[in-house]
Amino acid sequence: MSETSVMSNYYTETKAAVKLAGRKPSLNVREKGMAVTNDVIDRCEDSYLAAKDYHIRISKDYSDKGLIVMVCRHDNVIWFINMGPNGEKRYFMLAMMQKLLGELPESFTVGFFYDVICTMHREMEHWQLLPKCLPWLKFATPVFHAYGHQWPCQLSYHPYKNPEFGCTDGEGCEREWNLLNGIILTCRISGFHHRLFIINTKQAYIDKQNLLKLASWQKHQFEDATAKLEEAEAALDRLWIPLDKIKEAWAEQLSTQQAQPPLPEKDAGAKAIE
């Protein structure tokens, strides 16, 4: 799917909105709808190249910089976007979110994973991007990317600390890239249409294989979730601490570690010396 294809109807308007959102909100402030402050999110943003819209990681010799993909809970591809000469941009994700939510009833609650979801969530709240959709959405960062985030951010966006996501690890895109790994070298020396044909053909094969393995995949996921639940319940039984007390302690930890830090006082150093 090329950058000028059907998806362009969705991300041209979000591209303009994200460009408007280029100015960062004030530091040391917690935006409405956010659990962590802006200074924490800015430190997370500095850890990821994907959060920097100006950064292009692929040689300028290539007109297409790569693919961005949205996969479902079962690791099946929903959409590809072919990234053009400007490389990875945050408005690609917004475009796919808008496209997906337009296909779903408003009664649905939809969870989204993204490497730097804290930054995306802040921009959506601060600049009211897709405002009608915000009440539907839950956000998380994939488990293996979560450790690049600040601890207060992990408390909010790590999927294993968020009951809505269960045992989902959010790494479906990484598994998809692993399946497509074998065609990378061929695509690098292919023409534009030949490249898209190779990707589509390979993905059609992957989709067929995933469909054949769907029942065994669901069985494995159910057994894995059941085993984790039994292990967690056994650990709680060994603690001899009421579950209500554990929940209270967790809520207190969230409140303390995500608290908005006080603003620095003027001449604080001089006052300390005195």
**Do the domain assignments include residue 270?**
no
For the segment 46-53, the average pLDDT, to the nearest whole number, is 64
**Do the domain assignments include residue 200?**
yes
Would the pLDDT of 7 be above 50?
A: no
Mean pLDDT taken over the chain: 82
What pLDDT, on the 0 to 100 scale, is given for residue 2? 41
Separation CA 194–CA 171 (nearest Å): 28
**Do the domain assignments include residue 106?**
yes
Which residues lie across from 68 on neighbouring strands?
81
Instruction: Judge contact between 38 and 25, C-beta under 8 A.
Output: yes
Tokens of 156: 């909010």
What pLDDT, on the 0 to 100 scale, is given for residue 46? 83
Element at 137 (helix H, strand E): strand 137-140
Q: What is the DSSP string of 18-56?
A: HHHTTSPPPTT-PPTT-SS-HHHHHHHHHT-GGG-TT--
Higher pLDDT, 85 or 195: 195
Higher pLDDT, 256 or 140: 140
What pLDDT, on the 0 to 100 scale, is given for residue 183? 93
Going by pLDDT thresholds of 50, 70 and 90, the confidence category of residue 95 is confident
What pLDDT, on the 0 to 100 scale, is given for residue 29? 77
Where in the sequence is the domain holding 15, given as residue range(s)? 8-264
**Do the domain assignments include residue 274?**
no
Would the pLDDT of 267 be above 90?
A: no
Number of domains in the chain: 1
For the segment 1-24, the average pLDDT, to the nearest whole number, is 50
Element at 139 (helix H, strand E): strand 137-140
**Do the domain assignments include residue 74?**
yes
What are 98-153's pLDDT values in tens digits?
889 989 998 889 999 999 999 889 888 888 888 888 888 999 999 999 988 999 99
Would the pLDDT of 262 be above 80?
A: no
Q: How far is CA 217 from CA 204, 220, 225, in A?
A: 19, 5, 12
Going by pLDDT thresholds of 50, 70 and 90, the confidence category of residue 263 is low
**Do the domain assignments include residue 80?**
yes
Separation CA 40–CA 47 (nearest Å): 11
Would the pLDDT of 271 be above 80?
A: no
Q: Which of 2, 10, 231 is nearest to 99 (CA)?
A: 10
Going by pLDDT thresholds of 50, 70 and 90, the confidence category of residue 36 is confident
For the segment 221-235, the average pLDDT, to the nearest whole number, is 93
For the segment 76-99, the average pLDDT, to the nearest whole number, is 82
Residue with tokens 């292990």: 231
Going by pLDDT thresholds of 50, 70 and 90, the confidence category of residue 5 is very low
Would the pLDDT of 229 be above 80?
A: yes
Would the pLDDT of 245 be above 80?
A: yes
Q: What is the DSSP string of 172-200?
A: HHHHHHHHHGGGHHHHHTS-HHHHHHHHH
What pLDDT, on the 0 to 100 scale, is given for residue 4? 36
**Do the domain assignments include residue 154?**
yes
**Do the domain assignments include residue 157?**
yes
Separation CA 32–CA 232 (nearest Å): 34
For the segment 211-236, the average pLDDT, to the nearest whole number, is 93
What are the residue ranges of helices labelled H in 140-242?
A: 143-146, 151-157, 172-180, 184-188, 192-212, 214-239
Would the pLDDT of 15 be above 80?
A: no
